[in-house]
Structure 1
Amino acid sequence: MPDLLTKTLWDGRRALAAFTAGTALLAAMYAGFYPQVAEGAMGQTVEGFSPALRQALRMEDLASAAGYLGSSVFGIIVPLVAVIFGIATGTRAIAGDEEAGYLDLLLAHPVSRTRLLLHRFAALTTGAILIAAVVLLAMLAVRPGARLDSITVGHFTAQCLALALLIIVFGTIAITIGAATGSRPTALATTAGIAVLTYAASTLAGQIGADILRYASPFHYYIGGEPLRNGFQWADLSILTATTAILLTVAVAAFNRRDLTS
């Protein structure tokens, strides 16, 4: 058989290329609006928001490059598109093949379930790293013209690394649910629901007096430490990595225990 990782990447090349280009272009386009925002073009609009809403959407400091990018580009737009890629890739990894009847054909070859799942996870990881790397290159390309020089290359790298791990976490959640249930709709709906709830927990927990909830959200560890201002947040990155490792272990165990003949 062709190498499973290479085959998986080749089969998903169009989707990966589309998500990579789309995420990078959106990031660059919205980053390019920063000079207008810094000059107060959005000031009147934002002033109409309540203080609580401005805090939840990280719009308290739109005048600074880190504040603007942390609110719009890396706070909403980029993670939204990137997480969609992670969820879509994760749901296809095992449950998609099983639903299409392709899983039996794969496992009829001398390929263990563990190997199959790990290669699909490796493809997810490769895609996440590629998206984050191209977003980083896009940010560095527009950085001089968009007056983003106050953000160092290292700080952009820190934020993009956190982005890659965020994609991997949600992709692994989808892989785990798909491996445990064999149902692509279940994996898709459940993971999407988790993404919505955890994003709400990250942004709104403080507004309802439940700050502790944000610590259950991957989005908090992705951007809560403000990598664009403070650089690499190693504790947050470690938590995202550990979460992925735990989910992957559960996925392998659940997949190996399932009866695929029924």
Structure 2
Amino acid sequence: MNGILPVFRRSLRESWRSLLGWSVGIAAVLFLYLPLYPSFGAGGQLEDIIASMPKELVQTLGYDQIATGAGYAQSTFYGLMGFLLLTIAAVLWGSAAIAGAEESGRLELDLAHGIGRAQYALESALSVLVRLLWLGAFAGVIVWGLNEPSELGIDPPRIIGASLALVGVSYLSAAAGLLVGALTGRTAYATGAAAGIAVLGYVFQAVAKQSSDLEWLNALSPYAWVYHQPPLLDGADAGGLALTWGIALVLVLGAAVALRRRDITG
């Protein structure tokens, strides 16, 4: 392998089909949900639906703000379906980038051709980040395009903050997978760590909404860091974004250090 950023370039070249598939999936979800808002929002139908649901479920899903267009987009996509889709992609890509490459033998082969270990980890992390950024930007463009036709009333600049929050919380999961993959070389462990970050983060914020005595759990939830202040409604929380992105970058650097120090030849 030669040239500038060889691992990064190869990763993007080999993953464009899957990236296209994820893009189509995100577009399908957005075109399914967002255009429904005018029919649901008319005549107070959404309020009636919410009133018929258990209060705890409404709070857990973030549907307490769903009566507004921005709240509807935030709850249905950024806080639920979009979060789910990008998290799945992040878990798969993050766990495969180092651990998957090691289990398949590709990592050892690449290192034998002069690729540095830290370089391999950092370029792999960059590849995952670029793909997630693409998905976040792609979704944001579609939300912007549907904003007026679907009568959502979203302030367009807030779509940028919502996209950064969505990509940030998903990339944190990917970074955890990269780190554990670099530490262990096992895809199962990397997948568990990446998925665990997302699942526990969502569960912690959901439990915290059930009682004021449990609100301290939000401090342990990356999901709460970026979504306790709904980005599409109130603008993104700069502190939450900085914390999420900062920890993700620290985990990526940790993966580079771990892979550099570990004996992968057994």
How high is the TM-score relative to the length of structure 2?
0.93
Counterpart CA distance in 2 for 1:164 and 1:74 is: 10
Matched, 1:237 2:250: no
The residue number in structure 1 matching 2:14 is 11
Q: Larger % of helix: which? A: 2
CA gap of 1:88–1:222, structure 2 versus 1, over 3 A, is: same
Matched, 1:106 2:110: yes
Task: State the AA in 1 paired with 2:232.
Answer: L
Matched, 1:211 2:211: no
The residue number in structure 2 matching 1:187 is 190
Q: Choose from 58, 64, 78 the match for 2:62.
A: 58
SS in 2 for 1:212: helix
SS in 1 for 2:64: coil
The residue number in structure 2 matching 1:249 is 253
1:72-221 correspondence runs (5 A): 72-148=76-152, 150-208=153-211, 209-221=213-225
> Displacement of 1:126 after TM fit?
0.5
Counterpart CA distance in 2 for 1:20 and 1:218 is: 24
Counterpart CA distance in 2 for 1:48 and 1:6 is: 51
> Displacement of 1:42 after TM fit?
4.0
The residue number in structure 2 matching 1:48 is 52
Partner deviation per Cα, 1:217-255 (whole Å, 9 max, x = no partner): 111122222111122321111111111122112212221
Counterpart CA distance in 2 for 1:45 and 1:229 is: 21
Partner deviation per Cα, 1:84-103 (whole Å, 9 max, x = no partner): 11111001110011111111
* Displacement over 4 Å in runs of 4+: none
Alpha carbons 1:5, 1:120 under 8 Å: kept: yes
Partner deviation per Cα, 1:83-122 (whole Å, 9 max, x = no partner): 1111110011100111111111100011110000000011
What residue ranges of structure 2 are gaps of 5+ in the alignment? none
Counterpart CA distance in 2 for 1:176 and 1:103 is: 15
Alpha carbons 1:28, 1:139 under 8 Å: kept: no
Alpha carbons 2:226, 2:236 under 8 Å: kept: no
Counterpart CA distance in 2 for 1:200 and 1:20 is: 27
Moved more, 95-104 or 2-11: 2-11
Counterpart CA distance in 1 for 2:226 and 2:40 is: 24
Counterpart CA distance in 2 for 1:258 and 1:201 is: 33
Matched, 1:223 2:227: yes
Moved more, 22-31 or 93-102: 22-31
What residue ranges of structure 1 are gaps of 5+ in the alignment? none
SS in 1 for 2:151: coil
Counterpart CA distance in 2 for 1:191 and 1:241 is: 15
Q: How many pairs does the alignment contain?
A: 261
Alpha carbons 2:154, 2:232 under 8 Å: kept: yes
Counterpart CA distance in 2 for 1:165 and 1:24 is: 20
> Displacement of 1:185 after TM fit?
1.4
Counterpart CA distance in 2 for 1:62 and 1:102 is: 47
Counterpart CA distance in 2 for 1:210 and 1:232 is: 23
